[in-house]
Amino acid sequence: MAVVFVAEVLVFAPIDRPLKYTIPEALCSAILPGSLVHITVGKVKKMGLVCRIHHIDPQSLTYTLKSIISMIYDIPITHEILIQFYFWIAKYYVCDLFSVIDTAIPNVIRKNIPLKLIPYLQLSTPVCTSIDPKKCPKQYEALEFLKQNPYLLKNKFLERFSRNILDTLLQRNAVYETFQREERIAYTRSDLIHPQHHPIQLTAEQWQVVHSVNESLDQRTFNVHLLHGVTGSGKTEVYIKLIERVIREGGSVLYLLPELALTAQIVEKIRSRLEGLTVWVWHSSLSDGERRDTWFGALNHTATVIVGARSALFLPLNHLRLIIVDEEHEFAYKQNETPRYHGRDAAIYRAKLHGATCLLGSATPSVESIFNTRFKNYKLETLPHRIDHRPLPLVHIVDMRYEPQGHYGVLSRLLVEKMKTCLEKKEQIILFLNRRGYATTILCKSCDFIASCPHCSVPLTFHKTIRQFLCHFCSYQEQPHTQCPQCGSPEIFYRGIGTQKIEQITQNLFLNACVARIDSDVMGKKHKFIHILNDFRSGKIDILVGTQMIAKGLDFPNVTLVGLINADGALNQQDFRANEKTFQLLVQVAGRSGRGDHGGEVVLQTHIPNNETIFLAKNADFNAFIDRELSLRQHFAYPPYRHIIHCNISGTHLEATEVFAKESFIKQLREVFAEDTLHTEIRGPMTSPIEKIQDRYRYFVLIFTRNISKTCKKIYDFSHQIHIPQGIFLSIDVDALDFV
């Protein structure tokens, strides 16, 4: 008796395991692992991803299997290696497979949107239609026009002639319509980027890094390199030289970036150095068509380069040889929703699956990555000097406790004077403040009322550009108050600063200067931030105000002054990584200055000038900072010496959530780890720093462990066995970065 082919299918529904379906005989040769198919779950038609195929003896079946209904594409839309990757993410980050494939296979692929076809008009050969120019002058003119342009864009024809004339020519078979596929590749419009074609000669230090990574590429085995290069040392040129080698040998490259603002600059550099190479782009701000064509560009082509955000990790690249994780220290690589994977760590695992080389790069590498170069097998590469041995910028620390408020408000006298000098020299300035909006607190002087979000335990921020109070956690909006809603007093006071206020103050101080702002409010408008960056690069903008989006990676040779408005802001966070975040941010922002032929300066404004982290950041003393930080982490047994799993418990009712967290949840969790107290420590439950977000009250428990794989397995089993009351939600974040 013939065998039956059975497919294990991951269903796009909250089901935590593959389901088995028989494969119809007509589809046996077509359906493969990675195929997207239609199936039924119960009586409901669903979509699924085939993850495995095997054959069985039909006599061994003790129950009836349903059959796959149909295929959505005639080829698999992903690879078997990526399916292994999905299973690893689900296992390591303690989440269901559904959440992984729901993230990995985007809606644009599941929707199967059509190709972009451009209509052309082509003259029939031979032209057997004759038109009387006297009776039909317009038709005659159109036919003569087509004779001179035998293969013409349909839209071009319709710019000159009516649709009725075209229909007549089609009916007479004088012309026929053809279609040509056009691949939608992002960032190809000339007004978005400014190509700069000039040869680059690598320095001896850069060549040393290239040779070291080339040795790993020669071995064709998995290796991880960490490139620690100071700001302006030419890390991108090293990446491009390695990309050139991989592409020449028929391999593919994945280039990950933490910020969308960096994408256009990197794509431009790669295209200008490697002319003729198609560079695909992947991130959430692209159109559906661009994302669809990038996916299938990765699937169908070899020798491909894709530049993208962390979600580009799921693209089905062929012959993947090199993964570059630029600005590897960035916390933006961590996904804040399930699956809560870390883009850098997931990139390393995907490189391992492919036997590829993973190159991490940063001017301020993460504590974890430096730890791995010292105690694990990461290979450390260094670029200790800027190109042409240009000096790092001179950093001035201003103690804001002794600054008069004056009419500049939050800008120190030294910064204002430096800005005046800079503008006189026709040089450019960056002002950095990691807080968007205009005012961060709105309060009443009479009764101390503070305008707060009714859904979150946070004050509202005033956004002057839209004249609204806004919550940065749930996007709740409220009209500004003319009087206090609590006591009726008109004494409403706006306190605190955001990027909008800095922009206004700066424009008022320097009336003849062109000031622009980049933050997430601007990023919401497609290509707006690219236009701003291009205008800044071309000199149309004198002063750029921004948040962390402009803190790293961007290269503007005419920037000679950077002002850090509130340098110690990150130190106030309830986070053991506060020192690391602050050091990285200050060094990265300072590194935007003095990258061209002119020397750079930085004015660092702080209320705690004697803080050791700020002092080390001023001197860009990375080694001293890392040694101190690793010593502290070891003393307190914090990462990288132990892993942290953050369990967040939230509910719509405060009392029920508190009871579940403090009684049922913690009691059962401690029972799970009762025999493993030597390697596992449980802390909590505690009220979250922000007690309520989106009408949900929040508690958290921290699990510290030295054996992450064993602990994750126990947590996964525990999360599926524990009874969670209705209205309460449990989320688990492995290797957590955010404890808010």
Instruction: Write the pLDDT tens digit of every residue in 404-431.
Output: 865 567 899 999 999 999 999 999 999 9
Identify the pLDDT of residue 526.
Answer: 58
Of the candidates 310, 368, 338, 336, the one whose C-alpha atom is nearest the C-alpha of residue 716 is 338
CATH code for the domain of 506: 3.40.50.300
Give the best-scoring range by mean pLDDT among 539-543, 547-551, 638-642, 720-724.
638-642
Q: Domain for residue 475, yes or no? A: no
∠ CA(455), CA(459), CA(462), 5° rounding?
Answer: 110
Q: How far apart are CA 40 and CA 6, in angstroms?
A: 15
Maximum pairwise Cα distance, the chain: 99
Residues 272 and 145 in one domain: no
> Rounded to a whole number, what is the distance in angstroms from the first to the last CA of the chain?
61
- Higher pLDDT: 188 or 300? It is 300
Residue 477 to residues 448, 452, 461, 467, Cα–Cα distance (Å): 21, 11, 10, 10
Q: Domain for residue 467, yes or no? A: no
Cα dihedral 300, 312, 100, 50, rounded to 10, equals 0
Segment 662-667 long-range contacts (CB within 8 Å, at least 24 positions apart): 662/699, 664/722, 664/723, 665/701, 665/722, 665/730, 666/701
Last residue of a domain, one of 110, 140, 165: 110
Q: Domain for residue 459, yes or no? A: no
Residues 595 and 614 in one domain: yes
Q: Containing domain of residue 121, as a range?
A: 117-181
Residues 166 and 227 in one domain: no
Identify the pLDDT of residue 243.
Answer: 96
pLDDT at residue 194 greater than cutoff 60? no
Residues 583 and 702 in one domain: no
Handedness of CA 605, 609, 614, 620 (dihedral sign): positive
Mean confidence (pLDDT) of the chain: 89
Residues 557 and 425 in one domain: yes
pLDDT at residue 294 greater than cutoff 60? yes
Q: How far apart are CA 482 and CA 442, in angstroms?
A: 11
Identify the pLDDT of residue 408.
Answer: 64
Q: How far apart are CA 104 and CA 312, in angstroms?
A: 9
Residues 8 and 132 in one domain: no
Last residue of a domain, one of 387, 412, 427: 387
- Higher pLDDT: 613 or 188? It is 613
Q: Domain for residue 628, yes or no? A: yes
Residue 679 to residues 64, 237, 414, 637, 737, Cα–Cα distance (Å): 46, 44, 52, 11, 21
Looking up tokens 């941010």 gives: 585
Where residue 630 falls among pLDDT bands split at 50, 70, 90? very high
The tokens describing 99, both together, are 């959440």
With beta carbons less than 8 A apart as the criterion, state whether 99 and 338 touch. Answer: yes
Residues 167 and 303 in one domain: no
The tokens describing 65, both together, are 């299997």
DSSP 118-133: EEEEEE-SS------T
Instruction: Write the pLDDT tens digit of every residue in 22-51.
Output: 889 888 888 999 999 999 998 899 999 999
Of the candidates 652, 602, 645, the one whose C-alpha atom is nearest the C-alpha of residue 733 is 645
Number of domains in the chain: 5
Identify the pLDDT of residue 59.
Answer: 66
- Count other C-beta atoms under 10 Å from residue 79's C-beta: 20
Residues 255 and 378 in one domain: yes
- Higher pLDDT: 475 or 198? It is 475
Where residue 127 falls among pLDDT bands split at 50, 70, 90? low
Residues 234 and 158 in one domain: no
Instruction: Write the pLDDT tens digit of every residue in 228-274.
Output: 999 889 999 999 999 999 999 999 999 999 988 788 888 888 988 88
Q: Domain for residue 713, yes or no? A: yes
Residues 268 and 331 in one domain: yes
Provide the CA 340 distance to its chain's centre, in angstroms: 13
CATH code for the domain of 63: 3.40.1440.60
Identify the pLDDT of residue 1.
Answer: 46
- Count other C-beta atoms under 10 Å from residue 623's C-beta: 10
Q: Domain for residue 460, yes or no? A: no
Identify the pLDDT of residue 388.
Answer: 80
The tokens describing 299, both together, are 């699937």
With beta carbons less than 8 A apart as the criterion, state whether 233 and 391 touch. Answer: no
- Higher pLDDT: 376 or 57? It is 376
Q: Domain for residue 242, yes or no? A: yes
Instruction: Write the pLDDT tens digit of every residue in 518-552.
Output: 887 776 665 677 788 888 888 899 999 988 877 76
Q: Are strands 44-56 and 4-11 parallel, antiparallel or unpaired?
A: antiparallel
Residues 370 and 401 in one domain: no
Residues 6+ apart with CB under 8 A from 140: 131, 132, 133
pLDDT at residue 466 greater than cutoff 90? no
Provide the CA 540 distance to its chain's centre, in angstroms: 28
Q: How far apart are CA 200 and CA 205, in angstroms?
A: 14
- Higher pLDDT: 635 or 284? It is 635
Residues 208 and 99 in one domain: no
∠ CA(381), CA(384), CA(385), 5° rounding?
Answer: 135
Q: How far apart are CA 316 and CA 104, in angstroms?
A: 10
Last residue of a domain, one of 324, 356, 387: 387
Instruction: Write the pLDDT tens digit of every residue in 312-355.
Output: 999 999 999 999 999 999 999 999 999 999 999 999 999 999 99
Q: How far apart are CA 651 and CA 45, in angstroms?
A: 32
Q: How far apart are CA 239 and CA 223, in angstroms?
A: 16
E strand residue ranges, 263-378: 279-282, 305-308, 320-326, 357-362
Q: Domain for residue 174, yes or no? A: yes
∠ CA(126), CA(128), CA(131), 5° rounding?
Answer: 130
DSSP 3-state of 336: coil
Element of type H or E holding 239: helix 235-248
